[in-house]
A and B are shown apart, each in its own frame.
Chain A
Amino acid sequence: MLSIKNLCVSIEGKEILNGINLEIKPGEIHAIMGPNGSGKSTLANVLAGREDYEITAGEITYMGEDLMEMAPEDRARKGIFLSFQYPVEIPGVPMVNFLKTAVNEHRKFKGEKPLTAGEFLKVMREKKALVEMDTELTNRSVNEGFSGGEKKKNEIFQMALLEPKLSILDETDSGLDIDALRTVAHGVNALRSKDNATIVVTHYQRLLDYIVPDHVHVLLKGRIVKSAGKELALELEEKGYDWIKKENGEQV
């Protein structure tokens, strides 16, 4: 589904990712862990099509297509979804209008008729229930005044509405309370199928108890330095990153 080869990315001349290789197949869950500043969000943003980054080398193929030439909106319509680490507040853009526009853009791409206001509200209610999102929140502007946890729930709510093929969850767990974490994780699991894949960026094992990964990767200074099964997450939780840094010849 997704194939990343030797991806090198820099911003303002500073190299952030240097030589990422990653293969993701339908149905798989990949966890990406790593210390702060190692480049996890950068990778997630590059996949979603953020233009501030310069791709200096490598290639990304998504469902057989070159992803790098594709506009962010086209990636989204073709099934890539990024749950942002820091969702932006957009005052003046009502949630409902935004969501309806997004859903109908997806439908148009698939050759489906746009949802009427009534149909849309019905779908919205269903998906809101899935992540137990407060009804009042969709009466506001996009993310405006949302608490940290509410913003994260809102991301998964959008994911539920857009039904992506490849979901990238960038620290969706941070900011969620214990109950909300469980609800959101169940929501993500409910949306899983053998055809879609998920990349989970997280710092904590806790989320991976609910969303069980097939592969765990450690990103260090812009490179994937270790990949293993779900047991790697447990080991990291226990020992931290020092031993991996040492293995990679870093002074600790």
Chain B
Amino acid sequence: MNAVTENNDLSLRLTEQYNTLRDSLKESGAPVLNIHRQKAFRDFVAQGIPTRKVENYKYTNLQPAFAKEFDFPVRKSANDFQLEEKFKCDVPQINTHVVTMRNGWFYAEANEAVQLPEGVILDSFENVARTRPDLVEKFYGKLADTSADAMVALNTAFAQDGYFLYVPKNVAVEQPLQIINLLQAPKDTYVTQRNLIVVEEGAEVKLILCDHTLNLQNYFFNNATEAFIGSNASLDYYTVQNQHNKAVSINSVFVHQEQDSHLTSNTVSLHGGLIRNNLRVELDGQNCEANMFGLSFLDRKQHVDNFTQIIHGQPHCESNQLYKNVLDDESTGAFSGRIHVKRDAQKTNAFQRNNNLLLTDKAQMQTKPQLIIEADDVKCSHGATIGQIDEEALFYLRSRGIEEKQARLIMMNAFSYEVVQTIKVEPLRDRINELIERRLSGDVGRCHECAYQCDC
């Protein structure tokens, strides 16, 4: 069977799946979400499962991931899990409001100790879509274009729940909010999660997201988020990915920024079988700042693909992209960063850098910057490096009595340092440092903090 017909077969299987579930989705889904399903699925069928033939998926073929048989749960299961016992994504000394998601569903098992400021909503997306359609309608699907990405289309077709975060005008949420995305099902499962973030004018919020797998099943996690940052508002968005090697994770984030707003996105991929992070940021007002950072650690046959797009639509904005990868064994990584400066976006500063550390001859990294500059008075730069550990530095450390293994670890930490130090929530930064240390030294089960400590 050739690749094309196989892809068609897999698409057909998904179509069958969708047709079977369509009525249940409509029945249990909120009307504001239901109205998008039909078109979204048509867009998916038109694009098909992404393979290397699709320009935006040049380095990541999703066809093998879809070849597996997955369960498509359309109903939320009972809250039959004890979070405390099984799992802790603990960030010490961090006083946060914690929310747990399981298989894409929101469980209101919030940390009661921390009260959210007046007017702030952190709730089930499904619930809000049902009870406050006015809040959702205005934003839903406005950024996540189903005709531009098959995975976003598929997400929209199946979307039911996720989290909804709303921070009203001029409210600053002091403590970071933490959202834990858990995958835990009795069978191999395809999980859809759909989220919406609205940070109104002058508001501020910091979000910490942790992705985890809790058992050995195969997972396909298709997560999509739309975030709207109002004028003079600020969103810090930290993601820590720590899933096992049988998990495929598609994490699409779309951000819209109004004037004088601020975004910092930082994605740390500690572990996962296949990870694709899409981040698209649109600067739609003057004096915006967007920081897009990422750090990945890969080994064995893991694959991480960071795909970023920044659209400078207005003058006097600044964007910074810094993505780093440490690749061991036969792992493969990719970074594609697109900077689009539109004609009106004069006085733009747009910077991009991608640095990669290859620890073996077999690890591979693909890096592809893409600059589309339509304005003439702009400062843009991009750079990429792929290299090994500096042998001279390694010798210097060893000549002071530091063992080779430890010296290598120090060098890898040094490489990551630049990204880690951009994390402004200090306990999170310390925690990430610790996780990186443990990840690199391999002294714990590879998929850290998982109760099962499976070796997969």
Contact A88 B396 (CB under 8 A): yes
Contact B400 A162 (CB under 8 A): yes
Is B79 located at the chain interface by the 8 A CB criterion? Answer: no
Indicate which residue in A81, A91, A102 contacts B414 across the interface (CB closer than 8 Å).
Answer: A91
Is B452 located at the chain interface by the 8 A CB criterion? Answer: no
Chain A minimum-CB-distance residue to B418: A92
Cα A27 to Cα B398 in complex, Å, equals: 26
Residues on the A chain within 8 Å of B415, using CB: 92
Cα A87 to Cα B390 in complex, Å, equals: 13
Q: Decide yes or no: A92 and B417 within 8 Å by CB, A87-B396, A101-B406, A101-B410 being known contacts.
A: yes
Interface size class of A (residues with CB under 8 A): 20 to 34
Output the least CB separation between B389 and chain A (Å). Answer: 11
Is A90 located at the chain interface by the 8 A CB criterion? Answer: yes
Output the least CB separation between B207 and chain A (Å). Answer: 27
Residues on the B chain within 8 Å of A73, using CB: 398-399, 401-404, 407
Cα A49 to Cα B399 in complex, Å, equals: 8
Residues on the B chain within 8 Å of A72, using CB: 395, 398-399
Mark interface residues in B378-409 (1 if CB within 8 Å of A CB, else 0): 00000000000011110111111111101100
Is A62 located at the chain interface by the 8 A CB criterion? Answer: no
Is A150 located at the chain interface by the 8 A CB criterion? Answer: no
Residues on the B chain within 8 Å of A50, using CB: 395
Indicate which residue in B399, B401, B404, B414 contacts A93 across the interface (CB closer than 8 Å).
Answer: B414
Is B127 located at the chain interface by the 8 A CB criterion? Answer: no
Is A224 located at the chain interface by the 8 A CB criterion? Answer: no
- Central interface residue in A71, A76, A162, by most chain B CB within 10 Å: A76
Q: Decide yes or no: A48 and B404 within 8 Å by CB, A92-B413, A92-B417, A98-B410 being known contacts.
A: no
Interface size class of B (residues with CB under 8 A): 20 to 34
Cα A91 to Cα B418 in complex, Å, equals: 9
Q: Decide yes or no: A102 and B401 within 8 Å by CB, A92-B415, A92-B418 being known contacts.
A: yes
Output the least CB separation between A149 and chain B (Å). Answer: 18
Q: Decide yes or no: A71 and B414 within 8 Å by CB, A88-B392, A88-B393, A90-B393 being known contacts.
A: no
Is A109 located at the chain interface by the 8 A CB criterion? Answer: yes
Chain B minimum-CB-distance residue to A51: B395
Is A219 located at the chain interface by the 8 A CB criterion? Answer: no
Is A82 located at the chain interface by the 8 A CB criterion? Answer: yes
Residues on the B chain within 8 Å of A71, using CB: 398, 404
Contact A93 B410 (CB under 8 A): yes
Residues on the A chain within 8 Å of B398, using CB: 49, 71-73, 76
Mark interface residues in A143-164 (1 if CB within 8 Å of B CB, else 0): 0000000000000001000100
Is A106 located at the chain interface by the 8 A CB criterion? Answer: yes
Residues on the B chain within 8 Å of A102, using CB: 397, 400-402
Cα A81 to Cα B401 in complex, Å, equals: 9
Main secondary structure of the interface of B (DSSP, over half): helix
Cα A93 to Cα B418 in complex, Å, equals: 11
Cα A101 to Cα B406 in complex, Å, equals: 9
Residues on the A chain within 8 Å of B391, using CB: 52
Contact A76 B400 (CB under 8 A): yes
Chain B minimum-CB-distance residue to A79: B401
Contact A76 B396 (CB under 8 A): no
Residues on the B chain within 8 Å of A91, using CB: 414, 417
Output the least CB separation between A157 and chain B (Å). Answer: 12
Residues on the A chain within 8 Å of B395, using CB: 48-51, 72
Residues on the B chain within 8 Å of A81, using CB: 399
Residues on the A chain within 8 Å of B404, using CB: 71, 73
Residues on the B chain within 8 Å of A97, using CB: 410
Mark interface residues in A77-117 (1 if CB within 8 Å of B CB, else 0): 10001101001101111000110011001100100000000
Cα A52 to Cα B415 in complex, Å, equals: 23
Indicate which residue in B390, B399, B413 contacts A48 across the interface (CB closer than 8 Å).
Answer: B399
Output the least CB separation between B200 and chain A (Å). Answer: 38
Output the least CB separation between A31 and chain B (Å). Answer: 22
Chain A minimum-CB-distance residue to B414: A92
Mark interface residues in A108-134 (1 if CB within 8 Å of B CB, else 0): 010000000000000000000000000
Which A residues between 23 and 65 are near B, CB-CB below 8 angstroms?
Answer: 48-52
Cα A50 to Cα B396 in complex, Å, equals: 9
Chain B minimum-CB-distance residue to A50: B395
- Central interface residue in B392, B400, B404, by most chain A CB within 10 Å: B400
Chain B minimum-CB-distance residue to A72: B398
Chain A minimum-CB-distance residue to B421: A92
Contact B401 A109 (CB under 8 A): yes
Output the least CB separation between A151 and chain B (Å). Answer: 11
Residues of A within 8 A of B (CB): 48-52, 71-73, 75-77, 81-82, 84, 87-88, 90-93, 97-98, 101-102, 105-106, 109, 141-142, 158, 162
Additional pairs, 13, CB under 8 Å, beyond known A98-B397, A105-B401: A73-B402, A73-B403, A75-B399, A84-B396, A87-B396, A88-B390, A93-B414, A97-B410, A98-B400, A101-B410, A102-B400, A105-B400, A162-B401
Q: What are 19 of the A-B contact pairs (CB < 8 Å)? A: A49-B395, A49-B399, A71-B398, A73-B401, A73-B404, A73-B407, A75-B399, A76-B400, A76-B401, A81-B399, A90-B393, A90-B397, A92-B416, A93-B393, A98-B410, A102-B402, A105-B406, A142-B396, A158-B400
**Which are the 9 A-B pairs with shortest beta-carbon distances?**
A92-B414, A76-B401, A92-B417, A102-B400, A72-B398, A105-B401, A93-B414, A73-B398, A90-B393
